[in-house]
């Protein structure tokens, strides 16, 4: 039997059997998520990119069922977690970012509506067959921060002058070249 995350069935089929899927996979199994992370890490010096970032674990659980007693509205409860490598937008260093997403989704056809189910988010199905992996991947992509940065200022080289002084090294900032050019331009105009 194959991986149920990658199987395709209608939402009603998943719900009718009350399918529960325990997730234990790797980032590399999620193509779109891998592409987003890779694009973030691409600008980094290859020596600073963690070699096994694609092997980070994705864990969680999907529980399919129906939201209504008439079994007309398929739904899924989701909880997914992963820790990914991203580039801090302050100091431009790679750091580990935990991702966590929980959602109760109502699985509706693109033109279908359901009133009175405010506890659910609507997941509009563009195709009749649903692949649970797509739900997991989308939830993790939506959990990515808009601007990745260290959670604690002590961990961020850009915010920790003490770390910079202790290391005895200059920190490269995104605007260092611009600052140097402005200094040269100002010296030339004197």
For tokens 């693109």, what's the residue? 110
Nearest alpha-carbon partner for 106 in 65, 70, 143, 138: 65
How far apart, in Å, do the first and last CA atoms of the chain sit?
77
Question: In what helix (H) or strand (E) does residue 38 lie, and over which residues does it extend?
Answer: helix 31-41
pTM of the model: 0.78
In total, how many domains does the chain have?
1
> Does residue 40 form part of some domain?
yes
In a domain, 138, yes or no: yes
Q: Say if 43 falls within a structural domain.
A: yes
Domain that holds residue 51: 11-158
Q: pLDDT (tens digit, 9 = 90+) per residue, 121-168?
A: 999 998 989 999 999 999 999 999 988 888 877 778 777 654 555 555
Which two structure tokens, joined as six digits, stand for 89? 């937008």
27-83 pLDDT, tens digit per residue, is 999 999 999 999 999 888 888 889 999 999 999 999 999 999 999 999 999 999 999
Provide the Cα torsion 23, 26, 29, 33; round to 10°: 100
Mean pLDDT over 77-100 rounds to 93
The strand pair at 74-87 and 20-26 is best described as unpaired
């Amino acid at each position: 039997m194959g991986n149920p995350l990658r199987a395709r069935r209608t939402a009603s089929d998943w719900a009718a059997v009350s399918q529960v899927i325990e997730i234990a996979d790797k980032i590399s199994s999620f193509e779109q998520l891998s592409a987003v992370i890779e694009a973030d890490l691409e600008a980094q010096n290859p020596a600073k990119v963690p070699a096994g970032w694609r092997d980070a674990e994705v864990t969680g659980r999907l529980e399919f069922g129906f939201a209504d007693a008439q079994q007309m509205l398929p739904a899924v409860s989701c909880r997914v977690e992963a820790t990914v490598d991203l580039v801090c937008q302050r100091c431009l260093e790679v750091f580990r970012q935990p991702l966590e997403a929980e959602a109760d989704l109502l699985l509706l056809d693109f033109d279908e509506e359901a009133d009175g189910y405010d506890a659910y988010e609507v997941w509009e199905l563009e195709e009749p067959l649903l692949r649970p992996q797509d739900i997991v991947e989308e939830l993790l992509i939506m959990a990515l921060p808009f601007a990745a940065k260290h959670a604690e200022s002590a961990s961020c080289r850009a915010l920790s002058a003490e770390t910079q002084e202790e290391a005895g090294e200059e920190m490269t900032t995104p605007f260092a070249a611009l600052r140097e050019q402005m200094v040269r331009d100002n010296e030339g105009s004197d």
